[in-house]
Amino acid sequence: MLKRTRIQDLLGIEYPITQGGMAWVANANLAAAVSNGGGLGVVAAGSMPPELLDAEIKRVRKMTNKPFAVNIMLMSPTAEAAIEVIAENRVPIVTTGAGSPGKVIERLKPLGTIIIPVIASVAHARRVERQGADAVIAEGMEAGGHIGEITTMVLVPQVVDAVDIPVIAAGGVADGRGVIAAFALGAEGVQVGTRFVCATESPAHEAYKEAIIKATDRSTVITGRTTGHPVRCIKNKLTKKFDELESKGASLEELEALGTGRLRAAVIEGDIEWGSVMAGQSAGMVKKIQPAAEIIKDLFSDAERVLRQMQSYLLNEK
């Protein structure tokens, strides 16, 4: 059996798993399904107007009595409004990404909110620990969406060694082998995004889900490196156009114009050619659409199987 971790105790969850804060995908339906399944469901504030975020938070509370979180994308123009909506609703847990969480910690921690920033380097992890973060999500470049430059395999153990707060591993986790690998690296929980896109309760268009299921090990590419905010997506006409423009030295304004509205086009409208089909490299391991609770049970029953297999192997070696 897997040992209970500080993440489970901190968040009050059955399984040490959090759902990625994926804009347009991580809505109240998906968050409630993950929380009811024993993990930590997350609503992505993204660029939501405050009234819509308020409605989503209230919907989650009607659908589950389990812990849930809201993710704040700090580079979003609506981030400050999201902080106030979260404060008004006394959301128990917040994850943050794409920036420094100082303002979030300063405003929400006195209210008792648990703050867990997504980080992509040791320096970032140390900084947010000093600021008062309760845990960190160490996300490797295998993840979908906005990414850093370090792989999960290398990032997680260095972050574990650098901080005293619990570490959640993200990027590349889609089955029990990934869960056990994350724990072997010193993490006390995992964050899963791409596989939850294919949850039954996910609002992602069926075409988006099918694009993930059909993906192989080499289906994803990184675009937007020249903007300073690289993004991992499944390759299509949009990613090829990004490559073309970047190779010609296109301006930041041109690249931002090309990317505007493309994630919504993929997630909601099902445009998998010119939409931004954000997905991690683990897409090649996602084989079916299934309920969120079933995904969680599959991950951890498989992890137990892998652990038993490893123990048997090590005992035989002795």
Positive or negative, the Cα torsion across 131, 132, 133, 135? positive
What is the per-residue pLDDT for 132?
92
SS (H, E, C) 50-107: HHHHHHHHHHHHHHCCCCEEEEEECCCCCHHHHHHHHHHHCCCEEEEECCCCHHHHHH
For 170, other C-beta atoms within 10 Å of its C-beta total: 29
Tokens, residue 71: 């993710």
What is the per-residue pLDDT for 36?
97
Q: Quote the CA–CA distance of 207 and 131 in Å, as a whole number.
A: 41
What are phi and psi for residue 108, nearest 5 degrees?
-100, -30
Task: Label residue 65 by pLDDT band (50, 70, 90).
Answer: very high
Q: Is 96 helix (H, G, I), strand (E, B) or coil?
A: strand
Tokens, residue 226: 């020249």
Tokens 């029953």, residue located: 301
Q: What is the mean pLDDT of residues 17-31?
A: 93
What is the per-residue pLDDT for 75?
83
Q: Would you say residue 27 has pLDDT above 80?
A: yes
What is the per-residue pLDDT for 317?
56
Buried b (16+ CB within 10 A) or exposed e, 21-55: bbbbbbbbbbbbbbbbbbbbbbbbbbbbebeebbe
Contact 253, 177 (CB under 8 A): no
Which residues lie across from 43 on neighbouring strands?
70
Q: Quote the CA–CA distance of 158 and 150 in Å, as a whole number.
A: 11
What is the per-residue pLDDT for 236?
94
For 125, other C-beta atoms within 10 Å of its C-beta total: 24
Q: What is the mean pLDDT of residues 77-104?
A: 89
**Mind listing the pLDDT tens digit for each residue in 236-280?**
999 999 888 888 888 888 888 888 888 889 999 999 999 999 999
Q: Quote the CA–CA distance of 184 and 176 in Å, as a whole number.
A: 12
Q: Name the E strands within 63-179.
A: 68-73, 93-97, 114-119, 136-139, 145-146, 167-170
Q: Quote the CA–CA distance of 187 and 156 in Å, as a whole number.
A: 7
- pLDDT greater at residue 207 or residue 242: 207
Cβ within 8 Å of residue 49, ≥6 positions away: 78, 81
Structural domains of the chain, ranges and CATH numbers in brackets: 10-203 (3.20.20.70), 220-278 (no CATH)
Tokens, residue 91: 């959301």
Task: Label residue 98 by pLDDT band (50, 70, 90).
Answer: confident
Q: What is the mean pLDDT of residues 9-16?
A: 95
Type of residue found at 204: A
Q: Is 176 helix (H, G, I), strand (E, B) or coil?
A: helix
What is the per-residue pLDDT for 158?
97
- pLDDT greater at residue 316 or residue 289: 289
The string of DSSP letters for 207-269 reads HHHHHHHT--TT-EEEE-GGGT--EEEE-SHHHHHHHHHHHTT--HHHHHHHHTTHHHHHHTT
Tokens, residue 191: 């964050």
Tokens, residue 165: 């707060």
* CA distance to 13, 144, 211, 295, per residue, from 291 (Å): 18, 21, 18, 6
Q: Would you say residue 28 has pLDDT above 70?
A: yes
Q: Quote the CA–CA distance of 268 and 46 in Å, as a whole number.
A: 15
